[in-house]
Chains A and B, each alone.
Chain A
């Protein structure tokens, strides 16, 4: 590129100033670059290398040939997935469980947080809240195990109660119609307390004089909740909702895998469990990578669009 000759004024060329400025900046920060390098290395290896490797979704990956050596096949794997007879069923389960989960999982912790916030006894509030998020610390395996204690057809609490009252027990796990409910409500049991903690934290940041001013203006308790508390936590609600919507295709699949059985497969197979089975268990790497990529792209698009909508609406957004 031919550089324009600048008449000599005794000052260095502006482009050179910038270059030496950068060099100076880098030199001044050299220690910070050393400190950050392990983290950069980590993200490159375990996040960006897999993103590079996702190209096998468009290839016929053979381990002997490696990622670069395997032949391109275009959208073949995607077509196979979209045309499979189970595709619509899996998609319906994925979206169904997710949307059901969001409809319950977004408002419930907000309501619980409002209830905590209205408690007059600080001591009771702290105890109740600490208890409410205890299930958050239990592993998925144990949580599903406890769920089985309650619903198991041979010794489960619910079964025993039903027969106790003269009814007949049901094997909920074998019943495809129960799977979504079991999944969503047991999930709520584990998450409601912890999620409400975020909202009560946001509520404690609302200045008390706003409540006093509302009270002076004659607002009753419900009006204060509606006009002061809720607007105060709206940014938190928006951010958390955007994040949940951006994970809509993921459905807590570690839990689905545990709760799944041949008997409820018809309502319990979701995209991520299907991806796990075809990829890890059956070693169809390329096909499974294509399924995963489809999943991630839908999530990403949803995240971006909902973030844009939130921004448009004049509310908070992620970026």
Chain B
């Protein structure tokens, strides 16, 4: 806000109160994440004694050691990486291919395609008809069932089209056409290099989506070898199903075993969420730009 605006005493109080409130809310939002991080390296027995952790109680890496011994976690981590990388590349490529023609002003039939794409945001056949389509395509119980059905998000496609339309100067496009540049070259040599912010945002949106999804894997994958990380996490965190992990500590007492399990839960949350939480502050400068463009009515 402009500095010429003078603050009254009341407004100064308001600003101070507002600052304190924001500080408090930010702490409230952040605390659960910090808690898990601290708990994962604490002595599990201490967490019960000191329920609110403001710093780690002791420093124990046993929980992490147990995770790294576990085959399920390693394999599912690898699966998730594979699905995320393959899926995101397909997502971004397909979205660019769908969005670029819609951003050309002289594209004949633009409105028809736009309607065809956006209508799917508001109406869908539903879970079961979608399942039947995938079944008849024979992709059930393969990684493609997690990748192809969501290859394009219509919402992201519209954001990208709007970005192409508004951020790539029309003159550049016109002169390229005049010079006899083909549409393929225009996309490749001019539009894409000018669109790195939106491409970064899309990589992140789609990538996070793949990394975090469990539902499609739950309904389409029956082979345990193919399970992504989130399904294994679901067993550990939600269903309290530890498979061979508990066998390690079977000779301990019940209470001790519970403690060890709790420790494993905290550590597994950290291991699974860390890549995203490290990545997002680096990409956060692109968000506002990407979101701002998306907010423009399309």
Contact = CB atoms under 8 A, between A and B. Distances in A.
Interface of A: 22, 25-26, 28-29, 31-33, 35-36, 38-40, 42-43, 45-54, 56, 67, 112, 115-116, 118-121, 124, 128, 130-132, 134-135, 137-142, 144-146, 148-150, 154-155, 157, 160-161, 164, 189, 192-193, 197-198, 200-202, 204-205, 208, 211-212, 215, 220-221, 235-236, 239, 246, 254, 257-258, 272, 275-276, 279-280, 285, 288-289, 292-293, 295-296, 299-300, 303, 316
Contacts of A220: 8, 10-11
Contact of B124 (A47, A116, A221): A47
B178 interface: no
Nearest to B4: A212
A230 B1 CA distance: 15
Nearest to A31: B183
Nearest to A137: B276
B125 A197 contact: no
A299 B277 CA distance: 34
A141 B233 contact: yes
- Interface of A (DSSP majority class): helix
Given A43-B116, A141-B212, 9 more contacts: A45-B137, A130-B281, A131-B29, A138-B273, A160-B48, A197-B287, A201-B292, A202-B295, A275-B127
B157 A295 contact: no
27 contacts: A35-B187, A36-B101, A39-B157, A40-B113, A42-B94, A42-B98, A43-B154, A46-B148, A50-B124, A53-B129, A118-B18, A137-B277, A138-B33, A145-B269, A149-B35, A149-B36, A155-B262, A189-B32, A192-B29, A198-B291, A201-B292, A212-B5, A215-B5, A221-B7, A289-B129, A295-B126, A303-B122
Contacts of B25: 112, 115, 132
Given A38-B94, A201-B291, A292 B126 contact: yes
- Interface of B (DSSP majority class): helix
Max chain B Cβ within 10 angstroms of own Cβ: one of A52, A121, A292: A292
Interface stretch (B63-71, B103-111, B163-171, B244-252): B103-111
Contact of A288 (B117, B127, B288): B127
B295 to A, nearest CB: 6
B224 interface: no
Nearest to B149: A46
Given A43-B116, A141-B238, A32 B277 contact: no
Bin the interface of chain B by size.
35 or more
A46 B116 contact: no
A134 B123 contact: no
Interface of B: 1-2, 4-5, 7-8, 10-11, 14-15, 18-19, 21-23, 25-26, 29-30, 32-33, 35-36, 39, 47-48, 51-52, 94-95, 97-98, 100-102, 104, 106-109, 113, 116-117, 120, 122-133, 137, 148-152, 154, 157, 182-184, 187, 208, 211-215, 219, 230, 233-234, 237-238, 258, 262, 265-266, 269, 272-273, 276-277, 280-281, 284, 287-288, 291-292, 295, 297
A197 B211 CA distance: 22
A116 B276 contact: no
Contact of A149 (B122, B212, B266, B291): B266
Contacts of A141: 212, 214, 230, 233-234, 237-238
Contacts of B101: 29, 32-33, 35-36
Identify the 5 closest CB pairs spanning chains A and B, nearest first: A50-B125, A39-B98, A292-B126, A145-B237, A160-B51
